[in-house]
């Protein structure tokens, strides 16, 4: 058996099998979503003592067959009827192998940029002040409405390429820069189209309730009028289109109240859209409480939850219906906040924690999930192993996909990353370095550096 590479670094597509050998470690994160004391239990398989080729992963037809020592796999596979000649071999060359990373919270699709707000913030302007002055989300809405569908797709492709180079194999992509039916549908369609193009899988989320659109803002009942439009026009349109998998609401003082958020998410859930929310990002707004009450898949940001909110999420987790706390530490960093999400409290209270980039043009313009991993270590005091679970199996759980992706175990989609470092603990340790050597999606090499 030999390494069969075709030009461009792709493993021969003719072969249904893939054997990843020569890893210093394989971190499987097998065994389901992590919470409480298990948040940092990642199932690290080290190369067999005395055998530098010991940690190996076998894949077949886009699925993981198993993880083990290479010698064991080479004995087991033929015993189970597989022909070793049908496996391409990919040498991890002493690197770490992890599941493909999952970014559970991005605003992938937009037009324009907002670098000017960085300086406004340096001069002391707050997020909601910038929004009230017509900047922030609204300036991106204006640019996005004007952009053609092809321009939006090209821009999305550019940033997906960057994400792939950071080891990301599945991305959640929200709408929310249209705020009218037509543009929201265009954004969801582009998200779907880019996912179909691959190699990154995309989970489209409808975020019509991101802000009140400019055309309604002069009215005294603007927010309530827009909530009615969301319920009566956008939601039925989004459901008829059939692209969105989830619905999201910016539940925040001054944006959408907890009651308005509940109405939108309950209506969306009745149509089969998984409910999730931007919760308590800037001030305690009842978002964590609401997430627990309605059984949201994920509550995101949570930089300023109330004690009651943390209690409610802890109680939901103890009841066996955990809401994933999807924390976005780059955002609080980029907003120059001195207060960050209480990750340690969530972990101590048994709430599963995921980490995302919150990629967006205003408050977190980074497509690098490894950078968010560093931020989670430094600002949220999470350990590198807790963070790895947060960007793999728990991020998958935040998307309702923990049965399909997020770990390396038999039957799961064969999405994995070979890192140019011997242990995954070094991924957050070298901030802003390009550490990804190879990305495999559904058993195929889709990215190779150098």
Residues of this chain that interact with Zn ion (CB under 5 A) are 358
Rounded to the nearest 10 degrees, how much is the dihedral formed by the CA atoms of 214, 217, 222, 227?
20
Nearest approach in angstroms of CB 316 to Zn ion is 22
Residue 144 or 420: the one with the smaller Cβ distance to Zn ion is 144
The nearest distance, CB 211 to Zn ion, in angstroms, is 11
Q: Is 168 helix (H, G, I), strand (E, B) or coil?
A: strand
Q: How far is the CB of 369 from Zn ion (least distance, A)?
A: 14
Q: Which is nearer to Zn ion, 59 or 109 (CB)?
A: 109
Beta bridge partners of 443: none
Q: Which is nearer to Zn ion, 358 or 385 (CB)?
A: 358
Looking at beta carbons only, is 98 or 363 nearer to Zn ion?
A: 363
| Nearer to Zn ion (CB atom), residue 244 or residue 408 | 244
Sheet holding 201-209, edge to edge: 101-103, 168-174, 201-209, 246-251, 274-279, 298-301, 324-327, 353-355
Q: Which residues contact 67 (CB under 8 A, 6 or more apart)?
A: 26, 28, 30, 45, 55, 56, 57, 58, 408, 409
- Report how far residue 395's alpha carbon sits from residue 435's, in angstroms, rounded to the nearest whole number: 20
Note every long-range contact of 266-273, with CB atoms under 8 Å and residues 24 or more positions apart, other chains counting. 266/294, 267/231, 267/235, 268/206, 268/235, 269/294, 271/235, 271/239, 272/239, 273/206, 273/238, 273/239, 273/244, 273/245, 273/246, 273/247
In whole angstroms, what is the distance from residue 81 CA to residue 237 CA? Answer: 50
Give me 210's structure tokens: 């991101």
Please state the closest distance from residue 154 (CB atom) to Zn ion, in A.
Answer: 22
Residue closest to 373 by CA, chosen among 438, 417, 307, 313: 417
Least distance in angstroms from the C-beta of 437 to Zn ion: 30
Please say which residue, 229 or 358, places its beta carbon nearer to Zn ion. Answer: 358
For the bound state, the minimum distance from the C-beta of residue 102 to Zn ion, rounded and expressed in Å, comes to 16
Q: Which two tokens stand for residue 152?
A: 């939006």
Cβ–Cβ under 8 Å, residues 420 and 435: yes
Strand 298-301 to strand 274-279: parallel, antiparallel, or no bridges (unpaired)?
A: parallel
Nearer to Zn ion, 103 or 358 (CB): 358
In whole angstroms, the minimum distance from the beta carbon of 137 to Zn ion comes to: 10
CB nearer Zn ion, residue 28 or residue 363 = 363
DSSP β-bridge partners for residue 25: 46, 96
The nearer residue to Zn ion, 268 or 408, going by C-beta atoms, is 268
Nearest distance from C-beta of residue 328 to Zn ion, angstroms = 7
Helix, strand or coil for residue 341?
coil
Q: In the bound complex, which residue of the shown chain has the CB atom lying closest to Zn ion?
A: 358
Which of 327/402 has CB closer to Zn ion?
Answer: 327
Phi, psi (5° rounding) for residue 379? -100, -30
Q: How many CA atoms lie within 13 A of 412 on its CB side?
A: 27
- We find the least distance from the C-beta atom of residue 303 to Zn ion, in angstroms, to be 12
Residues sharing a CB contact under 8 Å with residue 425, sequence separation 6 or more, in sequence order: 384, 385
CB of 278 to Zn ion, least distance (A): 5
């Amino acid at each position: 058996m030999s390494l069969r590479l075709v030009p461009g670094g792709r493993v021969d597509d003719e072969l249904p099998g893939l054997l990843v050998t020569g890893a210093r470690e394989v971190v499987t994160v097998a065994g389901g979503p992590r919470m409480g004391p298990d948040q940092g239990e990642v199932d690290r398989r080290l190369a067999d003592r005395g055998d530098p080729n010991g940690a190996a992963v076998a894949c077949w037809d886009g699925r993981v067959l198993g993880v083990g020592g290479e010698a064991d796999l080479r004995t087991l596979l033929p015993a189970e009827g597989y022909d070793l000649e049908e496996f391409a071999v990919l040498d991890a060359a002493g690197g770490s192998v992890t599941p493909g990373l999952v970014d559970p919270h991005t605003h992938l699709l937009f037009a324009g940029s907002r670098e000017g707000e960085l300086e406004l913030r340096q001069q002391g302007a707050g997020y909601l002040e910038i929004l009230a002055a017509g900047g922030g989300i609204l300036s991106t809405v204006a640019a996005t409405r004007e952009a053609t569908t092809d321009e939006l797709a090209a821009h999305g492709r550019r940033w997906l390429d960057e994400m792939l180079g950071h080891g990301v194999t599945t991305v959640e992509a929200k709408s929310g820069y249209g705020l009218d039916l037509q543009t929201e549908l265009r954004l969801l369609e582009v998200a779907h189209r880019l996912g179909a193009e691959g190699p990154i899988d995309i989970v489209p989320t409808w975020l019509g309730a991101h802000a009140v659109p400019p055309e309604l803002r002069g009215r005294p009942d603007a927010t309530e009028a827009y909530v009615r439009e969301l319920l009566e026009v956008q939601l039925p349109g989004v459901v008829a289109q059939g692209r969105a998998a989830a619905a999201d609401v910016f539940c925040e003082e001054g944006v959408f109240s907890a009651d308005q958020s509940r109405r939108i998410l309950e209506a969306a859930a009745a149509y089969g859209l998984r409910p999730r929310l931007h919760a308590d990002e800037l001030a305690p707004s009842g978002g964590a409480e609401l997430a627990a009450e309605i059984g949201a898949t994920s509550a995101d940001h949570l930089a300023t939850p109330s004690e009651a909110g943390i209690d409610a999420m802890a109680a939901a987790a103890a009841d066996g219906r955990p809401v994933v706390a999807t924390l976005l530490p780059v955002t609080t960093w980029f907003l120059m906040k001195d207060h960050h999400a209480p990750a340690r409290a969530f972990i101590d209270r048994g709430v599963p924690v995921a980490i995302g980039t919150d990629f967006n043009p205003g408050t977190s313009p980074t497509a690098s999930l490894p950078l968010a991993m560093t931020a989670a270590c430094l600002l949220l005091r999470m350990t590198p192993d807790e963070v790895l679970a947060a960007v793999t199996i728990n991020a998958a759980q935040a998307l309702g996909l923990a049965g399909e992706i997020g770990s390396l175990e038999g039957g799961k989609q064969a999405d994995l990353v070979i890192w140019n470092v011997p242990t995954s603990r070094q991924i957050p340790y070298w901030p802003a370095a390009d550490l990804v050597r190879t990305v495999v999606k559904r058993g195929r090499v889709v990215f190779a550096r150098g």
